[in-house]
Structure 1
Amino acid sequence: MKPINWKLLFDHYKGKWVALKSDEKTVVASGNNAKVVYEQAIKKGVKIPTLFKVPTASVPFVG
């Protein structure tokens, strides 16, 4: 499995909820409310979107 660079997510969606396609790279919806973002992704045809709250601060993580 290749690591995913989510720096662009941080740069563009800091503090927001994002819904990703199964590739975990393609953002299909974003906003301040997780339920609304989820519903928008479903309406766009994503059967099981991955929801992710983008942090407001960039903190190193290894794990």
Structure 2
Amino acid sequence: MDQDKLIHTYNSFTVQNQVAKSTQMSRQYKLSDAPTLVVDGQYLTSEKINGTPQDTIQQ
């Protein structure tokens, strides 16, 4: 990948807006580890709760 294109894309309004939204949502849900899955803004699960990433998906 062209380095200039990567930097341009990373600094684009769209990407920066998505990063800001993700950061805001992480704070809102008080996420402290990854991977964490939030479903419909109500249900939160992570491997910390369920054991392994595979267990998280299967629950």
Q: Same fold (TM over 0.5)?
A: no
Q: Please report the TM-score for the alignment, with normalisation by the length of structure 1.
A: 0.31
- Structure having the higher strand fraction is 1
Q: Please report the TM-score for the alignment, with normalisation by the length of structure 2.
A: 0.32
Higher relative contact order (CA 8 A, sep 6+): 1
Larger radius of gyration: 2
